[in-house]
Amino acid sequence: MWIFETMDFENNLAFAEAMDRDDPLKELRGEFIVPQQGSESVIYMCGNSLGLQPKVTRNVVHGQLDQWANLAVEGWFEGEEPWMYYHKSLKELLAPMVGAVVSEVCPMNTLTVNLHLLLVSFYKPSGKRFKIIMEAGAFPSDQYALESQVRFHGYDPADAIIEVSPKGGALTLKTADIIAAIETSAEEIALVLFSGVNYFTGQLFDMEAITESGHRAGAIVGFDLAHAAGNVPLMLHDWEVDFACWCSYKYQNGGPGGISAIFVHEKHFKDKTLNRFAGWWGYQENIRFKMEKGFIPEPGADGWQVSCGQVIPMSMYSAALGIFKKAGFMGPLRDKSIRLTGYLYFIINEVNKSLHFEQFKIITPEDIEQRGAQLSIVATKHAKEIFGELVKRNILGDWREPNVIRLSPVPLYNTFVEIFQIGQQLLAICNSLPND
Ligand SMILES: *Cc1c(COP(=O)(O)O)cnc(C)c1O
């Protein structure tokens, strides 16, 4: 167990090594392939963008290629895990990742496609209730999806989309301001759609409070969990979230372009008025192959499937979720994540202290209730040079214009020593830059 119950961090190697030694999840790093540069491991801080490859993934994919080679079309119904039912075992792993009942989740398609499919069902503008409330600065794909959905229903995005922005020069939103925005337009809102964690600021939203407020206004509430799933614990069912979707390739290590998944709350299962863009794979499973006219959905989230199961991407996602299961899912990972990212927060401020000015300004809230793994750090001077130097020194974060460096320590595979080293390197880089 953790010996350092408090967060009295120290800026020295011995402390970081002791934290790693006492990390109850330290063995998990060995499950991943950490990229090498020469004889050194890269310090990978980009798990918010593309998670690392689990060692087991290659074997799992080869297993599916073997099934295809050996059984060909019979693989749909035969073999150890017939493809026809492959998504079912994956659903068992998805449910604890997001706090859902198994029937509420289903892997399918890719993220933005799923967002569109869910909006077809859950954005139901009518009369003066046609508006959507979202955070300003949402991920571009979500903005485009919503604009195009609004236009599809014959509205102008300028009238129909309300963006909530931080107040008074703040960089992140207050829950109270989100709720106030919902209440101000209560009668006009059809849908509240937020991210769980904003990709740019790293802010973790109070999804339970937002859901409650949206429902009080009479709106449907959905979340894009791209940066939240596999990063922070979620309780979608208990929070009564109406729908959600996420991708598998960020914190969940499902591989580039990997399969997405959806959540639909069970309270909607019996609603026959919901529109959907249907396909044969969402048809009731036991009579699907009668190939009859007239769509009858499979009960639950599975009824939103459109095309036949994407077995290889599902197998990659399943391999990766096996490691979350080993970890005990999100509880233990979040315990470590709070410490690991807390340590990064501390180390960045140590660098500022050594430099005697605020070279780095952290946008992400310090409060653990309002952040996940990622810190978004503004480099107030020489931003591009600093980021370039980090890359040269095998520290891989990511860059957002004009001056933001995002670093995401991932509790599955990052270490406290890596964070200590980032501090040492940042200090060395800044000391070597011209002083202007
Ligand atoms: C990463 C991300 C996406 C990416 O969508 P794809 O369809 O998988 O390319 C969409 N929305 C959010 C909020 C994201 O963070």
pLDDT tens for 344-388 read: 999 999 999 999 999 999 999 999 999 999 999 999 999 999 999
The two tokens of residue 196 are 């769980």
- 287 CB contacts (<8 Å, ≥6 apart)? 296
- Mean pLDDT taken over the chain: 96
Cβ proximity of 346 and 379 under 8 Å: no
Give the model's pLDDT for residue 3: 52
Closest approach atom of ligand 1 to CA 113:
7
Domain ranges of the chain: 13-33+328-432, 124-239
Cis amide bond preceding 313, omega within 30: no
Name every protein residue with a CB atom under 6 angstroms from any ligand 1 atom.
110-112, 139, 141-142, 195, 199, 224, 226-227, 247
Average pLDDT value for residue range 137-148? 97
Residue nearest to atom 8 of ligand 1 (CA): 111
- Residues 32-85 pLDDT 10s: 999 999 999 999 999 999 999 999 999 999 999 999 999 999 999 999 999 999
Binding residues: 111-112, 139-142, 224, 227, 249, 280
- Ligand 1 centre from 48 Cα, in Å? 11
- Ligand 1 centre from 16 Cα, in Å? 34
Residue nearest to atom 1 of ligand 1 (CA): 226
- Ligand 1 centre from 358 Cα, in Å? 32
Whether 133 shows a pLDDT value over 80: the answer reads yes
DSSP 282: G
Pocket test for ligand 1, best of 247, 248, 408 (most atoms within 8 A of CB): 247
Question: What CA–CA distance (Å, rounded) separates 237 from 370?
Answer: 20
% residues pLDDT > 90 (the chain): 96
- Residues 70-110 pLDDT 10s: 999 999 999 999 999 999 999 999 999 999 999 999 999 99
Q: Per-residue confidence at 436, pLDDT binned at 50, 70, 90?
A: low
- Residues 214-254 pLDDT 10s: 999 999 999 999 999 999 999 999 999 999 999 999 999 99
- Ligand 1 centre from 247 Cα, in Å? 7
Residue nearest to atom 15 of ligand 1 (CA): 226
305-to-113, 282, 436 alpha-carbon distances in Å: 11, 4, 58
Q: Per-residue confidence at 435, pLDDT binned at 50, 70, 90?
A: confident
143-to-63, 138, 211, 273 alpha-carbon distances in Å: 39, 6, 20, 26
| 124-239 has the same fold as 13-33+328-432 | no
pTM of the entire predicted model: 0.97
Radius of gyration from C-alpha coordinates of the chain: 23
Give the model's pLDDT for residue 434: 86
Binding residues for pyridoxal 5'-phosphate: 111-112, 139-142, 224, 227, 249, 280
- 13-33+328-432: CATH number: 3.90.1150.10
Give the model's pLDDT for residue 6: 57
Query: How many other CB atoms are found less than 10 A from the CB of residue 105?
Result: 28
- CATH level 3 topology of 124-239: Aspartate Aminotransferase; domain 2 (3.40.640)
- Residues 182-199 pLDDT 10s: 999 999 999 999 999 999
